Amino acid sequence: MYSPLEQFTINPIIRIYNNWLDLTITNSTIFMIISIIFIIIIITGIQTNKKIVMNKSIMVLELTYIKLEEIVNEIINKKYNNYIPLLYSLFIFILLNNLLGLIPYSFTTTSHIIVTLTMSLTIVIGITIIGFYKHSFKFLSLFIPSGLNQGFTKYLIPFIFMIEIISYLARIISLSIRLAANLISGHTLLKIIANFGLQYTISFPYLFIILPIFFITGIYILELAVALIQAYVFTLLTITYIKDVELLH
């Protein structure tokens, strides 16, 4: 590998296309399919309480679901628990793709802005539709802070309204870039340290060989934490966006 960024290259595996249709399967497609299969197995295992992998693994997944339910109840309300399956699937999907990217010679789908942008765009469009469906045009009051309809400040309402709209739409960009940028930077650093360690080991095969291994292990543990944290942050921000739409504040 000549460049640390080469690991993010999308390579076609099966090309099926013509002038009107392109069904090309890439390495990114394969790893997303793998993560979706894992999600189906996990959710099925939790619902049926079958011992798919290990008792402790199922217990961790169930505790994750319970913790997510507690977060939703704390931020929004118990009556909005119908969002939990969606949020849980979103969290597991992002986490699995983040972790799969840490396997040597694998591919990190969530490091590509097109993947994270598609997820964030879908979320924002979906909750916007829900907002208009539940509140009709009252949903637009979300973009007008309370207290602006008195005195001189009422003349600032159109200006503030436009700023709030832009801020609302900026969520699409911020939500997607935050996830992709963190994974790109971490994986790039890991690859640079690994290449440096390889060259260092070749130059000094019997001297200080533990040094590159120590650095790579430290960065790898950090990347495991980043994979978990970024999945959690993405899901938590999605919960706050749902709260804004449901409660209009």
Mean pLDDT of 25-29: 84
- Read off the tokens for 159: 């200006």
pLDDT of residue 58: 67
According to the per-residue pLDDT averaged within each range, which of 132-141, 185-194, 233-242 is highest?
233-242
Mean pLDDT of 12-20: 78
Judging by DSSP bridges, how do beta strands 12-14 and 25-26 pair with one another?
A: antiparallel
Mean pLDDT of 196-217: 68
Domain count for the chain = 1
CA–CA distance, 211 with 198 (Å, rounded to integer)? 11
Residue 167 lies in domain: 4-247
CA–CA distance, 109 with 94 (Å, rounded to integer)? 9
Residues in the chain: 249
CA 231 to chain centre: 5
Question: If you average pLDDT over every residue of the chain, what do you get?
Answer: 81
- Read off the tokens for 55: 């008792």
CA–CA distance, 216 with 190 (Å, rounded to integer)? 7
pTM of the model: 0.84
CA–CA distance, 136 with 156 (Å, rounded to integer)? 24
Mean pLDDT of 160-170: 89
Cβ–Cβ < 8 Å for 125, 113 = no
CA–CA distance, 171 with 173 (Å, rounded to integer)? 5
